[in-house]
Structure 1
Amino acid sequence: MANRSNETSQGNEQYFSANPSSEDVRRTLHVTLRGREADVEVSNGVFSSGRLDLGTSVLLRHVPDPASAGKETPHAFLDLGCGWGPITLALAEADPRAEVWAVDVNDRAIALTASNATANGYGNVHVGHPEDVPADLRFDTIWSNPAIRIGKEALHDMLMTWLPRLAPGGEAYLVVQRNLGSDSLMRWLADALGDGFSVGKYASSKGYRIIEILRK
């Protein structure tokens, strides 16, 4: 469930491997995430280890602020497939009072996101495997660049595990390459989620679609 639409990060090793076999060589990137600059660590065996992925950049540039930002009641946010953590950091910055959960199956990605959150001063971030998230937790906002290349069945299973955990009035935004089936995924999500949700295109840019899912 790594934070990616479509790439292998190192040789033939998949970024969604639980335990990357490539050498863990840390490098520092300077990135801009929704207008805030940050220094982050990246490494081999994790999605987009040399740069901020274009799809993630499109998502962060176009996605609206979480609806809870500025409200009194703390909320829970989810980065589904965190990689080294760009979406996590952006969510944590968007509402410092929210509890931000970042999940991945890649142990190295989990370690990087945790260290990047700490290094950038975000104490409201929880990072772990999917099973580490409390089963009764519901999310007000989900942002994700989902791992399309895990295959359609696995992708569908992943999305139907997490999207129904949106709280009433909650919102999710997914970025997917148009040529990798974003429009067909929108149609499938609308059918699979049913009448309690609305699914549509929120924005398009640089060959990507941002899919909006709202829980009614």
Structure 2
Amino acid sequence: MQKTRSAHAGKGDGPVMAEQYFSAEPASQDVRRTLRVTLRGREAEVEVSNGVFCASRLDLGTSVLLKHAPEPPESGAFLDLGCGWGPIALSLAFAAPEADVWAVDVNERALELTGVNAERNGCGNVRTARTDMDGRVVDGRQMEDDLAFDLIWSNPPIRIGKEALHTLLMAWLPRLAPGGAAYLVVQKNLGADSLTGWLTEALGAGFSVGKMASSKGFRIIEVLREG
């Protein structure tokens, strides 16, 4: 696939807006742009492209998550679920250089960008794995099937639909290690409160689910596994 690089990000994503960012293989032209972003107080230079979530900026929901989520542990296995071009994975890697940070997505272009951005910013502890829409790993040769995560951060793909979202979350949240925590950012008007209630019932005993913070029309849902 041809890659065209530009140093400037446009105001919009053009015809890619008609293409879902959760396509496994985006059909839009891979036009690379360079952004400078601030991730939890750290400056980063990153590449973005068409066909990837928030292809021209740092998403507001992700910004809310990065501002309000607690400081990560110094080490452990961390997960960025639905990584896009990698702002959450980079933030975790900056905060915890001794951790193993896994970035997963269905979108091959997103995973490539995350890898490029991790290397570009000296984050050698970031690994990527491609999943299908049900959350099954289809290309992550180094990820063990029984790997448990001490921390999960996610701006989950709400617009894939409720059933698909529930399937995706239940593929990963039960993989929290004992004592582990997950933080999900969801718009209030896209069902954050109902999702909180559903997760409480679906995860059941051994987990606690609640609202951790609210800001700019978003909720951060906290999921804790008893340890």
Shorter-chain TM-score category?
over 0.9
Q: Map 1:10-159; keep pairs closer than 5 Å.
A: 10-66=16-72, 68-69=73-74, 74-130=75-131, 131=137, 132=140, 133-159=143-169
Pairwise CA distance, 1:11: 2.6
Separation in 2 of the partners of 1:41 and 1:205? Answer: 27
TM-score by length of 1: 0.93
Which amino acid letter does the alignment assign opposite residue 103 of structure 1?
A: V
Pairwise CA distance, 1:9: 8.5
Alignment deviations for residues 86-131 of structure 1 (CA, whole Å, 9 cap, x no partner) = 0000010111000000000001000000000000001101012131
Which amino acid letter does the alignment assign opposite residue 53 of structure 1?
A: D
Mapped contact 1:75–1:140 kept (Cα < 8 A): yes
Gaps of 5+ in 2: 1-13, 132-136
* 1:162 and 2:172 aligned: yes
Mapped contact 1:9–1:47 kept (Cα < 8 A): no
Separation in 1 of the partners of 2:18 and 2:145? Answer: 34
SS at match of 1:28: strand
Mapped contact 1:9–1:49 kept (Cα < 8 A): no
Separation in 1 of the partners of 2:41 and 2:205? Answer: 36
Pairwise CA distance, 1:10: 1.9
TM-score by length of 2: 0.88
SS at match of 1:11: helix
Aligned length: 204
**Which position in structure 2 is the counterpart of 1:179?**
189
Separation in 2 of the partners of 1:137 and 1:125? Answer: 15
Pairwise CA distance, 1:136: 1.1
Q: Map 1:200-215; keep pairs closer than 5 Å.
A: 200-215=210-225
Q: Where is the strand percentage greater, Structure 1 or Structure 2?
A: 2
- When residues 156 and 181 of structure 1 are mapped into structure 2, their CA distance, relative to the original with a 3 A threshold, is same
**Which position in structure 2 is the counterpart of 1:192?**
202
SS at match of 1:88: helix
Alignment deviations for residues 157-182 of structure 1 (CA, whole Å, 9 cap, x no partner) = 00000000000000000000000000
Mapped contact 1:22–1:45 kept (Cα < 8 A): yes
- When residues 138 and 9 of structure 1 are mapped into structure 2, their CA distance, relative to the original with a 3 A threshold, is farther
Bigger radius of gyration among the two = 2
**Which position in structure 2 is the counterpart of 1:3?**
none
Gaps of 5+ in 1: 1-7
Which piece of structure 1 moves more, 200-209 or 132-141?
132-141
SS at match of 2:24: coil
Pairwise CA distance, 1:52: 0.2
